[in-house]
Amino acid sequence: MTVSRPPAAAEELRRAGLRVTAARVALLETVRHGDHLGAEAIASGVRDRVGHVSLQAVYDGLHALTRAGLIRRIEPAGGPARFEGRVGDNHHHVVCRACGAVADVDCAVGHAPCLTASDDHGFTVEEAEVTYWGLCPACSPTS
């Protein structure tokens, strides 16, 4: 029995037409193993894997990986951009108003784009972004 394994980060970069570097491999792996990380946390993770890398190189890499569809950038209102490895499934997010924690929420209803606009103004809707706001368990008042 053959077990299907996800392709290595280097192979994914090649298939996306991106140059394979140690920093890009570390960047992709850091985002994929993280949990909605910001650029500073990603930079720290990349540095742990490959040594020194500038914050600008991290931002450039994040932009390239996002453009290639290998990672996803989310921007909760009032907070910094976050990055995640879960792509292509039109999931949503729940954000804690107190601490900023972010968690994935599967599609609210049916198939992508999950919501039908009351008036699409002639647009072909391909994706819907929904952000649920509230308090995470750690920040919720105890009852």
Check residue 95 and give its pLDDT. Answer: 93
Contact 49, 95 (CB under 8 A): no
Of 2-6, 62-66, 127-131, 133-137, the one with minimum mean pLDDT is 2-6
**pLDDT above 70 for 108:** no
- The pTM score is 0.81
For residues 13 and 137, what is the distance between their CA atoms, to the nearest angstrom? 37
User: Model confidence over 25-65: pLDDT tens digits?
Assistant: 999 999 999 999 999 999 999 999 999 999 999 999 999 99
Between residues 110 and 11, the one the model is more confident about = 11
For residues 78 and 120, what is the distance between their CA atoms, to the nearest angstrom? 27
